Structure 1
Amino acid sequence: MTLKEIAKEAGVSVSTVSRVVNSRNDSFASKEVRDRIWAIVKKSGYLPNKSARELQQGKKSGETVRSGSLCCILGRTDTMEENPFLSQLSRVIEKQAMEHGYPVRFSYSIFDVNEKLMTNVIREKIESFKPAGAIAIGQFNKCAIDLLNRYYANIVYAGRGRINAEWDQVICDAYEAAEIALSHLYLQGHRRIGYLGGTESEVRFLAYQNFLRKHDLAFEDELVYPCEHNGEGGVLGAEKLIKADGSKPTAVLCASDTSAIALMNRLKDAKIQVPEQVSVVGIDNIELSGYVSPMLTTMGAPVQEIGNVAVQTLIGRIERRHKKPLRIYLQNEFIHRQSVAVLANAF
Structure 2
Amino acid sequence: MSIKKIAEKAGVSTATVSRVLNNPEYKCSSEELREKIWQIARELNYLPNEAARNLKKGIIDTGQKIWYIDILMTRTGSMEADPFFSELLRIIESEIHKQRCILTRVWHQPIFSNDRKCQIENIDKILEEMEQGNEQKSDGLIIIGKCNDNVLKKLSAKYRGIVSVNRNSTNYLVDEVICDGMRIAATAVEYLIQLGHRKIGYVGDCHNESRYKGYQDTLFMYNIDMDINYVIETEHTEAEGYAVMESLIQRSDVPTAIYCANDMIAIGMLKCLNRYKNRYYVPSIISSDDIEEAQYTRPMLTTVRLPKEEMGKFALYLLLDRLNGGHKGIVRTELEGKLIIRESCTPVENTNRLEYYI
TM norm structure 1: 0.90
* Aligned twin of 1:166: 173
- Taking a change above 3 Å as real, the CA distance of residues 242 and 131 of structure 1, as seen in their structure-2 partners, is same
- Bigger mean CA deviation after superposition, 43-52 or 220-229: 43-52
* Aligned twin of 1:330: 335
> Where do 5+ consecutive residues of structure 1 fail to align?
none
Instruction: Report the Cα distance in structure 2 between the residues aligned to 1:214 and 1:194, rounded to whole angstroms.
Output: 16
**Correspondence 1:49 to 2:49:** yes
* Aligned twin of 1:296: 301
SS at match of 1:73: strand
Instruction: Report the Cα distance in structure 2 between the residues aligned to 1:34 and 1:59, rounded to whole angstroms.
Output: 34
Cα drift, residue 255 of structure 1: 0.1
Instruction: Report the Cα distance in structure 2 between the residues aligned to 1:190 and 1:157, rounded to whole angstroms.
Output: 35
Cα drift, residue 83 of structure 1: 2.0
Contact 1:66 1:101 in 2 (8 A): no
Instruction: Report the Cα distance in structure 2 between the residues aligned to 1:291 and 1:59, rounded to whole angstroms.
Output: 47
Cα drift, residue 103 of structure 1: 1.8
Deviations 1:287-332 (A, max 9, x none): 1111222221111111111111111110110111111111111111
Out of 177, 191, 202, the position equivalent to 2:209 is: 202
- Taking a change above 3 Å as real, the CA distance of residues 162 and 169 of structure 1, as seen in their structure-2 partners, is same
Contact 2:24 2:87 in 1 (8 A): no
Contact 1:70 1:131 in 2 (8 A): yes
Q: How does 1:77-156 map to 2 (within 5 A)?
A: 77-111=76-110, 115=122, 118=126, 121-125=129-133, 128-156=135-163
Identical aligned residues as a percent: 32
- Bigger mean CA deviation after superposition, 300-309 or 183-192: 183-192
Deviations 1:205-250 (A, max 9, x none): 111111111112221122111101112321232233122232x222
| Count of matched residue pairs | 342
Out of 322, 325, 339, the position equivalent to 1:320 is: 325
Out of 240, 250, 272, the position equivalent to 2:278 is: 272
Contact 2:172 2:331 in 1 (8 A): no
Contact 1:227 1:236 in 2 (8 A): no
* Aligned twin of 2:75: 76
Cα drift, residue 52 of structure 1: 5.8
**Correspondence 1:18 to 2:18:** yes
Question: Residue 69 of structure 2 aligns to which amino acid in structure 1?
Answer: L
SS at match of 1:219: coil
**Correspondence 1:240 to 2:247:** yes
Instruction: Report the Cα distance in structure 2 between the residues aligned to 1:269 and 1:324, rounded to whole angstroms.
Output: 53
**Correspondence 1:35 to 2:41:** no
> RMSD of the alignment, in Å?
2.6
Question: Residue 318 of structure 1 aligns to which amino acid in structure 2?
Answer: L
**Correspondence 1:230 to 2:237:** yes
Cα drift, residue 343 of structure 1: 3.5
Cα drift, residue 198 of structure 1: 0.8
Contact 1:47 1:99 in 2 (8 A): no
Instruction: Report the Cα distance in structure 1 between the residues aligned to 2:288 and 2:83, rounded to whole angstroms.
Output: 12
* Aligned twin of 1:261: 267
Cα drift, residue 158 of structure 1: 0.8
- Taking a change above 3 Å as real, the CA distance of residues 244 and 37 of structure 1, as seen in their structure-2 partners, is same
- Taking a change above 3 Å as real, the CA distance of residues 50 and 260 of structure 1, as seen in their structure-2 partners, is same
- Bigger mean CA deviation after superposition, 215-224 or 311-320: 215-224
> Where do 5+ consecutive residues of structure 2 fail to align?
113-120, 352-358
Instruction: Report the Cα distance in structure 2 between the residues aligned to 1:143 and 1:81, rounded to whole angstroms.
Output: 27
Question: Residue 271 of structure 2 aligns to which amino acid in structure 1?
Answer: N
Cα drift, residue 42 of structure 1: 2.1
Contact 1:145 1:165 in 2 (8 A): no
SS at match of 2:80: helix
